[in-house]
Amino acid sequence: MVAPGANIFKYGYLEGSSIGLQDGLNIINASYRIIEPLSQHPREQAIVDAAWAGSAIVTKSADNRSSEVGRPHEGDFDELTLGLIGAPSTIFVGALDHNGTPGNKTRLARYSNYPGSNPEVRNQFLTVGVEGDKTGLYGTSYAAPVVAGYAAILGSKFTSATPTQITNQLLDTARTDTLVNYNPATYGRGEASLSRALAPVSIR
């Protein structure tokens, strides 16, 4: 999977460095959680601000607690998730057992969080296959970067599209015919489809 011209910048989870948005399309993958208030984390506050301003696409791992996105776990909220709910260029990403097809449907991985009852989360939630039997890697932390990669590929084709337009293109072209007993509370918009998202000549 290649996005021509993409530059990758790594930020360590424990680093205190801030994010720096670049010229062109910015995509931020956040495969972690924050339980302290965002006011104590300037970098994460900047990520949330960018998602609300539509100046960067943010792909956020749904988490691995078999729970509804945005609900507390053992009394702790994921403050990064709460800050991103409803932001126009955010996509929450859950994990599937494998990549689905109409003839070999897949289901949500048993560990993956899901949208649940919140209509905003349902509207900005995608799923992708995490085939741990092949890679030895499991978790929504490995699902979210796949969607970040899809966004970068779209950006290399639709060079004038905004982060929000690319976000909506990925959400609007998700598949539901590859999922067992599809419903928005479990799968959000469905399984991300790069081929469908890339199909048009242009996007608006």
Can you give the pLDDT of all 204 residues of the chain as single tens digits? 457 678 888 777 666 667 889 899 999 999 999 999 999 999 999 999 999 999 999 999 999 999 999 999 889 999 999 999 999 999 999 999 999 999 999 999 999 999 999 999 999 999 999 988 888 889 999 999 999 999 999 999 999 999 999 999 999 999 999 999 999 999 999 999 999 999 999 998
Cα(110)–Cα(146) distance, rounded to whole angstroms? 19
Q: Look up residue 19 and give its DSSP letter.
A: P
Helix (H, G, I), strand (E, B) or coil at 91: strand
> Is there a contact between 117 and 185 (Cβ–Cβ < 8 Å)?
yes
Cα(9)–Cα(129) distance, rounded to whole angstroms? 25
pTM here is 0.95
In angstroms, how far apart are the furthest CA atoms of the chain? 48
Cα(113)–Cα(93) distance, rounded to whole angstroms? 9
Which structural domains are found in the chain, ordered by start?
A: 27-198 (3.40.50.200)
